[in-house]
Amino acid sequence: MPDSAKTLTTGLEIEMNDTRTTVAPRSVPHGSAFRQPVWVWLVFYMLVFVGLALVLHHAIHGVVNGWHAAISFFLAINTMICWWEISLGLHIGEIEHWHHDPAGQGERPEGTVFLARVGPRELLSTRLWARIWSEYAAYDPSYADRGSFGFAIDVGNGWTTLLPGFVFLVGMSSGTGSPVVLGLVGVILFYQKLYGTCLYLFTFLFNRRWQGRPLGQVVAMVGGTNGIWIVFPAIGLYVSFRLILENDFRLIWT
């Protein structure tokens, strides 16, 4: 083989060897094993939250009570929604931009938030949960309008019912405190939720915000989600009034 060919061959071999030695193995993102779809984290959260309430109640009173279980389920949802509602208030500017501005629609994160894969730290991000309201605004534009009643009532609910809800849950599970005092907290808490939801549904229907959308989608998204805030607060009001009138925890302890 001529010397020039040997030199060329040797040079190619060196380059190939260098390439093989410099290619790094494919890295795995740190903590990727904990990145799950948002809906998986929400199911896990509900199981833990309601499970702990039921276990605490059973450990103290020796029974699983239907009234207690129903209210625990609702308060678990409400605690989660309160964080979403706080996120609505903190990021209303971005939500309005995503919804109303043609340029903003291109900047909006793609896909539904419930299918996004996130890690535990990202679950505390208020910007993540702001995406929920951007999606819901497709059914009710008032959630992309800081001057609307829907925006005001939900942000207010987030800031004002988070702590009372937790107090009521701990009180009815552990039995600490007075039944009358706990009942008064419950009446204020659950009446606010029931009244606010009824007013919101009135504004939605009165302003004909269902127009332009398939009826089935509107019933599922607006009627289904808000129906929870009518049925369970009504249950909470019933239990709270019984606690006040009877001055006794037996309704939720037996």
Average pLDDT over residues 213-221: 76
pLDDT interval class at 236 (50, 70, 90): very high
Q: Each residue of 22-55: b (16+ CB within 10 Å) or e?
A: eeeeeeeeeeeeeebebeebeeeeeeebbeebbe
Sequential DSSP letters for 118-161: E-TGGGG-HHHHHHHHHHHTTT-GGGG-TTSHHHHHHHHHHHHS
Q: Report DSSP state, residue 249.
A: S
- % the chain with pLDDT above 90: 55
Is a pLDDT exceeding 50 seen at residue 182?
yes
Minimum mean pLDDT among 25-34, 60-69, 203-212, 219-228: which range? 25-34
* String of DSSP letters for 53-114: HHHHHHHHHSS--HHHHHHHHHHHHHHHHHHHHHHHHHTHHHHHHHHH-HHHHHHSPPS-GG
Average pLDDT over residues 94-110: 78
Q: pLDDT confidence of 115, banded at 50, 70, 90? A: very high
What is the model's pTM? 0.80
Mean pLDDT of 208-219: 77
Q: Report whether pLDDT(181) > 50.
A: yes
